[in-house]
Chain A
Amino acid sequence: MSLMTMIVKMSEGLGKTCAIFFLTLLFSLPLGMIVALLRMSKVKVVSTITRFFITVIRGTPLMLQLLAVTYGPYYLFRANVSRNKLIPVVIAFSINYAAYFAEIYRGGIESISIGQYEAAEVLGYSKFQTFMRIILPQVIKRIMPSVTNEVVTLVKDTSMAFTVSYQEMFTIGKQIANSQTSFMPFVVAGVFYYIFNAIVDYLMGRIEKSLDYYR
């Protein structure tokens, strides 16, 4: 198989790689905020359960979580494994990344001085207005570097989908590597991820820069 055919075949999986990437961000970024708020809840039971959830997600391999979400329903309920693997893959990724984002959000929220809340309260902002207008924008600025890290990791983590044979770029590459006994597909995959992340880096840098107008 020529290098060109290899690249073309693997590019066909790039759409699915992007699907995992964007759908995961779409769901995990807001879900992470909900998890962070539950984690910081004043209701002890809620915060304890949430903290346990986070330690489980962060303390076990993503690969295992992918297998659990994809095949768990079959072993538990004899339910059919869904034909479209994108759904379980995105669910597993979203839950996993939500746990990581939650801890980043929490760190950011807790780093905002209490004085910001007090000033807002005295000036008549409601709790919701305080969070949306005063706290959240400052949190976003502070956590951008950590979020960028996670997003870069997510690009590479999409390759984990091979564990459930979801036909994204890396899975196709691995199959080619096996059938052709060639290392070349891995090199191609490496280049793809590198370019993907170069774009991610550029875009995140732009966002960070746009928040540079204040300290």
Chain B
Amino acid sequence: MADFNNMESMGGQKARNILAVNALRKAFGSLQVLKDISLHVEQGNVVSVIGPSGSGKSTLLRCISFLEKADGGDILYDGQYAVKDGVYATKAELNRFRTRFGLVFQNFNLFPHYSVMKNITEPPMIRGENREIVTERASALLKKMGLEGKENAYPCQLSGGQQQRVAIARALALNPEILFFDEPTSALDPELTGEVLKVIRQLAEEKMTMVVVTHEMPFARAVSNRVIFMDKGVIVEEGHPEQVLGSPQQERTRQFLRNYQR
């Protein structure tokens, strides 16, 4: 194996950070859920976040997608501050930042009263895009997700795996620079996780920038450029997947992975 630390900046050129988070803090009441979390995601990279239940993985994704309000720290997209020292940009600016990322939820959160097609096309159309262009893009995305012919189906007529792939298409239809996944396969029957992981892997091959919270260790190992292990609101260990998952340096990481294999 090569020097893991150098793999991120291949060719010596400084890669562009699509997302950068500095000293992010978040508490619910007296419970400090995120304690000075810092991370960055370079263009084309896939970062997996693993960790025990309650370690703050979802809260981290929710903070960087503005669903949860952080108490302090910075959030930057492509070098621009969305949050600086806990101070948020204006509503209009945040709405523009929202076009830069997409979020895929554990339980899909598709709109049940919309057809598959409308689920995907309405958000870009709300942002003022032209119907024909959006419809064309949606069709291409559905094809890519292996969902041709499902345009007029309703979410309730689809399996969980298909619904999650629609949700991914819906996020992609806004042409985000980065995609966030919060345990995208945890709500699925085991036999359906494969089809979802496959499309995420395909996106990784196309150099889509992604942050994936997951419990699928083999997947994290195969797809990620970097793995982050979180516990109790701090990043305990991070690095190349072979390192973090294969030969972890921290005892807490080892313990987590041991418990995981049982």
- Listed in ascending order, the chain A residues whose CB lies under 8 Å from chain B are 113, 115-116, 118-125, 129, 133-134, 137-138, 141, 213-215
Structural contact, A141 and B113, CB atoms closer than 8 A: yes
Task: Tell me which of B95, B99, B109, B170 has the highest count of chain A C-beta atoms within 10 A of its own C-beta.
Answer: B109
With A and B bound together, what is the CA distance between A215 and B101 in angstroms? 29
Cross-chain contact B123 with A124 (CB below 8 angstroms): yes
Partner of A214, one of B101, B102, B105, B112: B112
Complex Cα distance, B95 from A129, in Å, reads 14
Per-residue 0/1 for B92-117: is the Cβ within 8 Å of any A Cβ (1 yes, 0 no)?
Answer: 00010011011101010111110000
| Contact in complex: A124, B102 (CB < 8 Å) | no
Whether the pair B112, A215 counts as a contact (CB closer than 8 A) is: yes
Q: A120 contacts which chain B residues (CB < 8 A)?
A: 111
Q: Considering only CB atoms, which chain B residue lies closest to A215 in the complex?
A: B156
| Residue in A121, A123, A129 with the greatest tally of chain B CB atoms within 10 Å | A123
List B158-205 residues whose CB lies under 8 Å from chain A. Answer: 170, 174
Prevailing SS type, chain B contact patch: loop
| Min CB–CB distance A115 → chain B (angstroms) | 4
A155 to chain B, nearest CB (A): 29
Residue of B nearest to A113 (CB): B109
Q: A134 touching B127 by the CB < 8 A rule?
A: no
Summarize A's interface: helix, strand, loop or mixed: helix
Contact of A119 among B95, B105, B156 (CB under 8 A): B105
Q: Chain A residues with Cβ under 8 A from B99's Cβ?
A: 124
What is B's interface to A at a CB cutoff of 8 Å?
65-67, 95, 98-99, 101-103, 105, 107, 109-113, 122-123, 126-127, 154-156, 170, 174
Give the Cβ gap from A146 to chain B, nearest Cβ, in Å.
Answer: 18
Which residues on B sit within 8 Å (CB–CB) of A137?
Answer: 113
Q: Closest residue of chain B to A122, judged by CB?
A: B103
Residues from chain B with a CB closer than 8 A to the CB of A215 are 112, 154, 156
Check A116–B109 contact: CB distance below 8 A: yes
- Give the CA-CA distance A121 to B103 in the complex, in Å: 10
What is the minimal beta-carbon distance from B95 to any residue of chain A, in angstroms? 6
Q: A118-B67, A129-B126, A214-B154 are in contact. Are A124 and B109 (CB under 8 A)?
A: no
Residue of A nearest to B91 (CB): A126
Q: A119-B109, A121-B67, A123-B170 are in contact. List 18 more A-B contacts (CB 8 A).
A: A115-B109, A116-B111, A118-B109, A120-B111, A122-B65, A122-B98, A122-B101, A122-B103, A123-B123, A124-B123, A124-B126, A125-B123, A129-B126, A133-B122, A214-B112, A214-B154, A214-B155, A214-B156
Q: Could you tell me if B113 and A214 are in contact, using CB atoms closer than 8 angstroms?
A: yes
